[in-house]
Amino acid sequence: MRRLLPVSGVWTLLVLAPWIGEYLLGNIPLELLPALPFLLPMYGGGALLIREVTRRTGRGWPTVLLLGGAYGLIEAGLVDQSMFNADFEQTLFLARHTYVEALGLDVSNTLSFVFGHAVYSIATAVAFAEYLAPPALRREPWLGPVGLAVTVVLYLLGCLIIYSDQVDEYGFVASAGQRAWTVVGALALVVLAFVPLRVLGVRREQAGWLPSPIALGGGCFAALGVTFARPESWAGVALGGVLPVVVVGWLLVRWSTHPGWTVGHEHAVAVAALLTYAWGGFVLTGLVRPDDVLAWVGNALFAVLAAGLAVVSRRRVVSVPPN
């Protein structure tokens, strides 16, 4: 039974990553639910690989998020190339208020891609997969050497599938320079993911005020709402994107070292992220496919499932401090 339990967590994560990242967001409507298996290798494989590396090295959520950012850069810059393809899904580059000609990308969209994948597709999916796992296995590796190797192959295969599909659809390939700096950015995030927190001035067992889980969840829900609904302008990038990410991220890192921090605080943050994409899905449908009745039905169904996931996982959460 102990060998079977981690397998259930693996499959939960494989499914949650593409479901949260694309379907709950409303980026892919209900009618395309049969396409989920084709997204599972890249999204699920990437999330599982990040989780396994993080847990095997004894790291925590900052590592998950930074590796998730690297995942987002690789997907948007090298795989589907949405950062550079001006025709990608048509609606993404209509405004172009923050377009940088020298880089061939829109900064606001790039921030959305990288932040969205790091927080929602990766970290939120990993969090809920672990909450549904038995407490003794939540911070333990779920894969052996063979399973880890299979996950790497699965992820690379998923990237190849999505890359080939996008090239066939758009006939677009990013320039060598664009691909090069994408790789450099991803590698920088990977290195930063393993920098000890003490180097950044964060000490263990920091005292001071710590918000309750409910207050923390509410604050994160509001901050994530600001980042999601920010205007596509330079002010939106600075005040609605970079500023709340830096401030809230720094506070969460500091608070997570407080002696009173529990998995209840962590769960509240994860629920805030999950519910942000739940309401964000309705917004995206209203912008992209307002006359698609089935898409609205899918938004409602997926939002109910998200609420149910939040409730069920809360009942399984125990008061132990997270890593």
With tokens 């060998």, the residue in question is 3
For 22-44, how does the pLDDT look when each residue is reduced to its tens digit (9 = 90+)? Answer: 999 999 999 999 999 999 999 99
For 201-227, how does the pLDDT look when each residue is reduced to its tens digit (9 = 90+)? Answer: 566 666 678 999 999 999 999 999 999
Q: By percentage, how much of the chain surpasses pLDDT 70?
A: 90
Phi/psi of residue 57, nearest 5 degrees: -95, 5
> Residue 134: what pLDDT?
83
Name the range with the highest mean pLDDT among 121-125, 173-177, 195-199, 251-255. Answer: 121-125
Token digits for 74?
């690789």
**What are the structural domain ranges in the chain?**
4-316
pLDDT at 294 over 70: yes
Q: What is the mean pLDDT of residues 92-117?
A: 81
Mean pLDDT, all residues of the chain: 89
What is the spatial distance between Cα 73 and Cα 81, in angstroms, rounded to a whole number? 9
> Residue 258: what pLDDT?
87
Q: What is the mean pLDDT of residues 243-255?
A: 91
pLDDT at 95 over 60: no
Please say whether the beta carbons of 192 and 246 come within 8 A: no
> Which residue, 7, 58, 6, 18, is CA-closest to 155?
18
Q: Which residues pair with 100 in a beta bridge?
A: 105
